[in-house]
Amino acid sequence: MSILVCGGAGYIGSHVVRALIDAGDDVVVLDNLITGHVDAVHEKAKLELGDLKDDEFMKRVFNENKIDGVIDFAAFSLVGESVKEPLKYFENNFYGTLCLLKHMKSYKVNKIVFSSTAATYGEPENIPILENDRTFPTNPYGESKLSVEKMLKWCDKAYGIKYTALRYFNVAGAHPSGEIGEDHDPETHLIPIILEVALGKREKINIYGDDYPTMDGTCIRDYIHVMDLADAHILALKRLNAGNPSDIFNLGNGEGFSVKEVLDIARNVTGHAILSEISSRRDGDPAKLIANSNRSIKELNWIPKYNSLEKIIETAWNWHQNHPHGYQD
């Protein structure tokens, strides 16, 4: 199969591209490199540099490449920034995907796997969270992704474009080779920041609040390895190719770790003390997010392989040690 991966030079996209190539697929990566890295793109993938919102560019990409299906990661994903600049998020995440769907419709490409998020739920009603629980995003990032899910539903009805939306929980880790991994600027995520402290690139990690209603007062999250996530995308495409209907799935390990627990495991994995300090809460952080991913396991036949936080942090540590300055190294 020939797959168009939008945002394939980014953190999650680049790992999915690897997995697709390892599975024998042909891959066209479309990326504007605003947050992506050329060096993250596998040498066997064809790279198309440009933007989803550029009509002429998109026509050329669809004319020149045979495309059987699309995986769409192209998005901004900083929750805090989205609150300050909602239009930037709706323009890129919602309007960008709208443009992509217009071209898919014109060129009769009718399968898409969409990168969605646990942020669509907002403050959860139940733990663990099920796909049909209430969706009430507390930030424009989550709202932009939920809006795309809704647009996809109507595009399926009207044009027969089949979709699978995958709602990721906290993605972490790196390819086991240590060749690709997480490199954001600015970095805002917990595990890479902790590892930057271990590397001596930062003095300490600020723990955002220890007064949440959790056992140690810090926020609880469900961490999932980026390669397990990659497997789920391949299975989701396979499921659509087998003629199954559009659907939405959670992707997490179903186990929650507090910020302090993550820190302790990282101290064990790295052998570094990793200085921390309690600071005030970060706006918009729910106390606890844990997925119920039973439907992904059953319907996608998804079997997570890196389902322990030690394994997740080990692969991330391997990447950070080999690439202390990310793709600049």
Q: Report the residue number, 66 or 204, with the smaller CB distance to ligand UFG.
A: 204
Q: Is 141 part of the annotated catalytic residue set?
A: yes
Find the shortest distance in angstroms from Cβ 22 to ligand UFG: 25
The distance of closest approach from Cβ of residue 191 to ligand UFG in the complex, given in angstroms and rounded to an integer, is 7
In whole angstroms, how large is the CA radius of gyration of the chain?
19
Residue number with the smallest Cβ distance to ligand UFG: 219
CB of 259 to ligand UFG, least distance (A): 5
Q: How far apart are CA 4 and CA 2, in angstroms?
A: 7
DSSP 8-state assignment for residue 245: P
Torsion angle of alpha carbons 28, 34, 37, 38, nearest 10°? 50
Sequence-ordered strand ranges (E) for the chain: 2-6, 26-31, 46-49, 69-72, 111-117, 162-168, 170-172, 205-208, 220-221, 223-225, 247-251, 257-258, 276-279
Which positions lie near ligand UFG, rule CB under 6 A?
A: 77, 79, 117-119, 141, 170, 188-190, 193, 205-208, 219, 221, 259, 282, 285, 289
Spatial contact of 151 and 246, defined as CB atoms under 8 Å apart: no
Maximum pairwise Cα distance, the chain: 56
> Which residue is listed with tokens 């309007």?
95
Q: Which is nearer to ligand UFG, 118 or 226 (CB)?
A: 118
Marked catalytic residue, from 89, 121, 141, 163: 141
What tokens does 20 get? 């697709």
Rounded least distance, CB 207 to ligand UFG, Å? 5
Of 82 and 110, the one with the shorter C-beta distance to ligand UFG is 82
Q: Which is nearer to ligand UFG, 218 or 318 (CB)?
A: 218
Q: How far apart are CA 36 and CA 230, in angstroms?
A: 17
In the complex, the smallest distance separating the C-beta of residue 26 from ligand UFG, rounded to whole angstroms, is: 29
Angle at 79 between CA 77 and CA 290, to 5 degrees: 90
Q: How many CA atoms lie within 13 A of 180 on its CB side?
A: 23
CB of residue 258 to ligand UFG, shortest distance in Å: 8
Give the residue with the Cβ less far from ligand UFG, 15 or 103: 15
Distances (CA, A) of 242 to 4, 22, 109, 313: 19, 20, 15, 35
Question: Residue 62 or 73: which CB sits closer to ligand UFG?
Answer: 73
Active-site positions read 141
